Structure 1
Amino acid sequence: MTSERERTHVALLRGVNVGAHNRIAMADLRATAASLGWQDVATYVQSGNVVFTSAEQDAGELARALEETIAEHVDVRCGVVVLTREELQQVAAANPYPHETDPKHLHVVFHSRDPGPDTAATLAVAVERAQELGGRDEATLVGRHLYLRTPDGLGRSRLASELTRRPAADAPVGTARNWATVTNLLALLEGPPPG
């Protein structure tokens, strides 16, 4: 049974507050989420991370509702991936790179659904190309989420560049977060709500 002091879900927005487009204030995002009847709403950093409590358990329905409400009230169109607290706990527990001590060098791409067969093949080709170019990056697909280790930093990652340049034809909507964000969101889900 869920404690009254624990939030139940996290919503991850894709592509907001990067550059001049898709700008959304976190106060507006919190108000938008609350307008859906979600409770214990809190945001974390400016990249569009919302933790909240909802009786609705269908992650796809929660994501669709937030996408539509943001588009209607804030005039921003963005993809949204929603996970339950338990799903985020599983993501943290399944980390294939526990030896990476710098949380800015480890990222998770959260997908809205299971990737198709082309995604794994595209990933294997991208890893091979990046290694041929001298990259030290590693990537592992676990379920519907992609773990990406970038020891030289994400901005200098040959693998990230390859994946961005040649996405799989069947790739689902996805949004990346570094490991520091993952662990901080998990702490917010497990901690007391605001107020």
Structure 2
Amino acid sequence: MKTLIALLRAVNVGGTGKLPMAELRGMAEDVGFDNVRTYIQSGNLVFSSSDAMPDARKALEQRLEDYAGKPVGVILRTAQEMHRVFDANPFPDAEPSKVGVLFLDNAPPPGIAETAKGQTDEVIEPGEREVYIHFPSGMGRTKLRLAAMSDGTVRNINTVRKLVNMATGSGSK
């Protein structure tokens, strides 16, 4: 069994995509996942599975589509991968609520920072399969748009830290 973290796209954001976390936990248990936990109302799921990652993702996406009547994007990371994402934060001195991580399935496209739209004071740093963004004026105020945003989902570094802690059983870092 390995511990996995699922990040759902467009769940409970801005009043759209309502999915009660109790129902999400139930769906995850229905497809055979163990030790299922959620964190806040934005589609963060921590669970254990003996399935290969592509199979776990497919099972969860199918169950979510059955529920929602439309595809719901899921980004998966192992506990170790999420820990590496947290440790690789290029903005360790920034206020954690103002550092976002755009999680992607694949490497960010080349030139992602140079092709940004609506950028003001945001600083963009590509990672392995994520993009780190420092939002000095706050995430809620940004007009920043990256082409890859339609393929991924953003979490602030506080949420990343909490998911690492939940997945590894460690205390706060």
Q: With the length of structure 1 as denominator, give the TM-score of the two structures.
A: 0.79
* Runs of 4+ residues over 4 Å off in structure 1: none
Are the structure 2 counterparts of residues 76 and 31 from structure 1 closer, same or farther at C-alpha, using a change threshold of 3 Å? farther
Report Cα offsets for 1:89-110 as digits up to 9, x if no partner.
110111111111x211001011
Amino acid at match of 2:92: P
* Counterpart-to-counterpart distance in 2, 1:61 and 1:172: 23
Task: Pick the structure with greater CA Rg.
Answer: 1
Which of 129, 153, 164 matches 2:138? 153
Percent identity between matched residues is 34
| Runs of at least 5 residues in structure 2 that lack an aligned partner in the other structure | none
Confirm whether residue 103 of structure 1 aligns to residue 81 of structure 2.
Answer: no
Query: Aligned residue for 1:50?
Result: 45
Paired with 1:10 and 1:62, the residues of 2 have a C-alpha distance of 11
Q: Equivalent of 2:21, from 9, 26, 29? A: 26
Q: Structure 1 82/39 Cα, relative in aligned 2: closer, same or farther at 3 Å?
A: same
CA deviations over 1:113-149 (Å, ceiling 9, x no partner) = 223xxx222421328x73xxxx221111111100000
The equivalences for 1:11-160 within 5 A come to: 11-58=6-53, 60-75=54-69, 77-100=71-94, 102-115=95-108, 119-126=109-116, 130=119, 135-158=120-143, 160=144
What is the distance in 1 between the residues matched to 2:156 and 2:112? 22
Distance 2:123 2:18 in 1: 32
Q: Which has the higher contact order (CA 8 A, sep 6+)?
A: 1
Residue 95 of structure 1 aligns with an amino acid whose one-letter code is N
Aligned residues: 170
Structure 1's unaligned 5+ residue stretches are none
CA drift at 1:27: 0.7
Tell me which residue corresponds to 1:9. 4
Partner of 2:158 in structure 1?
180
- Give the superposition deviation at 1:74: 4.6
Q: What RMSD, in angstroms, separates the aligned Cα atoms of the two structures?
A: 2.1
Cα deviation per residue 1:122-178 (whole Å; 9 max; x = unaligned)? Answer: 421328x73xxxx221111111100000011012224x2x32xxx15xx77211000
Pairwise CA distance, 1:20: 4.0
Q: Distance between the aligned counterparts of 2:7 and 2:168, measured in 1?
A: 17
Distance in 2, Cα, partners of 1:76 & 1:21:
13
> CA separation in 2, counterparts of 1:140 and 1:30?
33
Compare the two structures and name the one with the higher helix fraction: 1
Q: Is the alpha carbon distance of 1:183 and 1:138 closer, same or farther for their aligned partners in structure 2, counting shifts above 3 Å?
A: same
Output the TM-score relative to the length of structure 2.
0.88
